[in-house]
Structure 1
Amino acid sequence: MSEIHGNLHNVSVSQSSNIDLEMDTQDYLWKTMGNLIQDSYVKGFDPSQKAKVDDPMEWLTLLTSLNPKETPLTSFKPKETSLPFLRDRDLPDDRVKDKDYSLVFVPEESWVKLVEWSLTSMELQIGPSMFTKEMSARIVGPTEWLENYKIDVMLFLSRERTTLGRWKANKVAFMSCVFSNQMKCSYATFEKDKTKFKVEGLLHDYGTGQLPPHGRTGLVWDVDVSRMYVPVFVHGNHWISMCVNFVTRTIEVFDCAGLKHHKDVELFANFIPRIVKAVQSAEKKKHLNVVKYKVVYVPVPFINKSSSDCGVYALKFIECHALGLDFTLVNDDNIHEARHNIAYDLWEAANNPELMLRMSKYTPPKTITSDVVELV
């Protein structure tokens, strides 16, 4: 996969009263798109997401209105913004050396491709979702909260990356938001009568790798899979993520706000061991005890100034952990670059011939009924 970025918007250019329309690409992008980056704190922002925040289509409207041959580029100068001085680290050849390069960087020529696509009305299939201009605009944000289907589509891409060997992570699985909600619903039923509850249907299919259906792996928990990553929706307006380790019998919790979520996490610690046992061979079941997994909260300093970025952090923490990278590589200074990174990753994957072929062979799961309520 191509490495990625959004830092090009922070590069400064000299100003003059006579704008040269033959300027190079980087200067043009700054002039036309410099106002995409905003401070992550938004006064009056409502964490419940019910309040109307900045229109995610504003940047798209800007892009679709551009014609460098007819539109004065000076009209797109960021308002109330002083351009930073050009630094050596902003140069592409130097930026590639930065430790956070693979997590947040999108090369200039790659970003241009996404911009050009945004000028069309084309929709692209990407796993369980359609990649549209609206989806791209919301991901880029910068103040937009990510819904569950945007989280799920990135986890689909993570499954495909590991399956195709593009990520060097062995025996790893990536669950979905639907899985998390299914666990919550099933656990409520389990608590009503633990003696009669059986792991079957959807839960069993998750344990054998038949679900999630897009990017289906067929990998059995604690046999073919050593650890799996799970996004979790907590408190009605916040995303966290977890790593379930079947070898150490632990659950590591990643939260950009550094909070504890005992009620939301404990059900996984109690329930997952039962699913693990249910999907093992008859011989292995005889020697496998159902013991609650230990919950460990990974130390993460409070870095999420804007509550709208929690979903981006949840995804990037999964990526960091899966690839053995330090969590501190993603922070409030580059989280908006990370949004650009995600948007470009999805666009690139939707246009990748190998992934397009795999997506064309998708077959729906045999188990299609469920009492799961979709997250919004």
Structure 2
Amino acid sequence: MIENVPEKAPEPITGPSVVVLDKQVPTVSDVQQEEARRQTKMDAAVAFAREKSDRVRKLAASQQSPFQGNSTGKVIIPNTKVGQGYDLFAPVDKKKMKVLFDWLKLDPDAFINILRLQYHKNPHHFRSGRIYFLDHVFSRIWRDKYPEFKSSEPDHNGCKKKAPWRGVDDIYAPVNFKNTHWIAIWILIPKKHIVIWDSIAKHISDEELAEVMEPDQWIIPYLLVECAGSGELCVQYTLKPFTYMRVTAGVSQCRAGDCGVFTLMYIECHALGMSFSPAFSSRNVKAIREKMAVDIFQEAPESHDKENNDNDENVTTYEQ
């Protein structure tokens, strides 16, 4: 028979208790300190590698020869960086863009050449098949030589200076006023009349405009009579001066500095048989300039050269 003896309760601990920590488990502070040490070592290694890569390396004496331009050592140990010579996503240089726009503003003949090229390729796009785009060089010499023309003696036909011109009904030309302003003119030969489009109408007074237009009024009739020669064609023309009118209704106005662009747009729009759109305004002048620049460099990349090959056949005409 087994006797059941009750178990004794454990005696309470009266002394201090001791907790033993496991050294294999890191604390939060230990992790942070280790990460800081690791980052410091990594930064030091990266700095050392950069200094080593930027260091100018020298070839051994056996690799240096005046008779061998590139040795194996020079290929293995390059001292210069190659590739990635420029940032293709870098913003456009505003100074260069300003130079381009200033050139486009001061040299309208580049865009006149574009109109000539387009007219030659697609004459059906334009309002008439008897159009000529006159560059400003011709009109400038025209005006510079006008006093000489005016003082010269007439020939047997009543004409003075000889300049060939025929087969044209409409002439478009940019005209410069004292190197401060541009206007566009449309010469209607059958009607013996000149239409003027001015983007800043108040810039030129009526008296100044009369002085500017006088060479065109008088020289064109003489050109027509001289080109007609004798016969039935000669009867159509007289030496009576052309009339002119400055049109203001429906003509878009611009700010100072944009008159050259507007002058060219007047010519292009009217030659195409289009009216002056409301979009043709100072708000859109930057986009208009950019389009002109693209057209010039795409269609006639050499039009900005000093030698204008497109107009070489008329060089002798300028001096007559």
Tell whether 2:275 aligns with 1:311. Answer: no
Among 218, 234, 246, the alignment partner of 1:297 is: 246
Distance 1:228 1:325 in 2: 16
Gaps of at least 5 residues in structure 1 are 1-63, 77-114, 119-132, 208-219
CA separation of 1:370 and 1:244: change in aligned 2, threshold 3 A: closer
Q: Is the 8 A contact 1:273 1:290 kept in 2?
A: yes
CA distance in structure 2 between the aligned counterparts of 1:184 and 1:351, rounded to whole angstroms: 29
Q: Tell me the amino acid that sits aligned with residue 198 of structure 1.
A: K
Q: Aligned equivalents of 2:314 and 2:183: distance in 1?
A: 30
Q: How does 1:1-376 map to 2 (within 5 A)?
A: 66-68=87-89, 137-140=98-101, 146-147=105-106, 150-165=107-122, 167-169=125-127, 170-193=129-152, 195=154, 198-200=160-162, 204-205=163-164, 207=165, 220=166, 224-259=167-202, 260=206, 261-283=209-231, 284-299=233-248, 303-305=253-255, 307-329=256-278, 330-350=280-300, 364-365=312-313, 368=316
Match of 1:112 in 2: none
Distance of aligned partners of 1:139 and 1:248 in 2 relative to their CA distance in 1, 3 Å threshold: farther
Which one-letter code corresponds to 1:252 in the other structure? V
Question: Which runs of 4 or more aligned residues in structure 1 lie more than 3 Å from their structure 2 counterparts after TM superposition?
Answer: 136-141, 193-197, 359-364, 366-372
1:242–1:251 contact (8 Å) kept in structure 2: yes
Question: By how many angstroms is 1:253 displaced?
Answer: 0.4
Letter of the structure 2 residue corresponding to residue 226 of structure 1: D
Q: CA deviation at 1:341?
A: 1.0
- Specify whether residues 351 and 177 from structure 1 end up closer, same or farther in structure 2 by C-alpha distance, changes over 3 A only: closer
8 Å CA contact retained: 1:174, 1:229: yes
Q: Which residue number in structure 1 is paired with residue 66 of structure 2?
A: none
SS in 1 for 2:228: coil
Greater CA radius of gyration, 1 or 2?
2
2:77 is matched with which residue? none
Contact 2:149 2:161 in 1 (8 A): no
Contact kept, 8 Å, 1:172 with 1:226, in 2: the verdict is yes
Amino acid across the alignment from 1:365? E
1:67 counterpart letter in structure 2: L
Asked if the contact 2:116–2:133 (Cα under 8 Å) also holds between the matched residues in 1, the reply is: yes
Paired letter, 2:222: R
1:287 Cα deviation from its structure 2 partner: 4.8
- Give the Cα–Cα distance (whole angstroms) in 2 for the partners of residues 230 and 317 of structure 1: 10
Equivalent AA in structure 2 for residue 157 of structure 1:
I
> Secondary structure at the residue paired with 1:333?
helix
TM-score after normalising by structure 2: 0.59
Q: In 2 relative to 1, CA 314–366 (structure 1 residues): closer, same or farther, beyond 3 Å? A: closer
In the TM superposition, what is the alpha-carbon distance from 1:303 to its structure 2 partner? 2.4
1:178–1:276 distance in 2 versus 1, CA, 3 Å = same
CA distance in 2, matches of 1:159, 1:335: 22
1:289 alignment partner, SS class: coil
Q: What is the RMSD computed on CA atoms of the aligned residues?
A: 3.5
Q: Take 2:319 and 2:309, find their aligned partners in 1: how far apart are those partners?
A: 27
SS class of match (1:146): helix
Higher relative contact order (CA 8 A, sep 6+): 1
Q: Contact 1:145/1:309 (CA < 8 Å) preserved in 2?
A: no
Contact preservation (8 Å) 2:104, 2:110: no
TM-aligned CA distance change 1:158 to 1:308, over 3 Å = same
Mark the CA change 1:292 to 1:361 in structure 2 (over 3 Å): closer, same or farther: closer
Please give the alpha-carbon distance, in whole angstroms, between the structure 2 residues aligned to 1:326 and 1:145: 23
TM-score, normalising length from structure 1? 0.51
Show structure 2 runs of 5+ residues with no match: 1-84
Supply the distance in 2 between the matched residues of 1:285 and 1:183 (Cα, whole angstroms): 23
Q: Deviations over 1:129-164 (max 9, x none)?
A: xxxx96x753446xx7722xx211211111121121
Amino acid at match of 2:239: V
Name the CA shift for 1:360/1:191 in 2 (closer, same or farther; >3 Å).
closer
Partner Cα separation in structure 1 for residue 300 and residue 226 of structure 2? 36
Give the Å deviation of 1:364.
Answer: 3.6
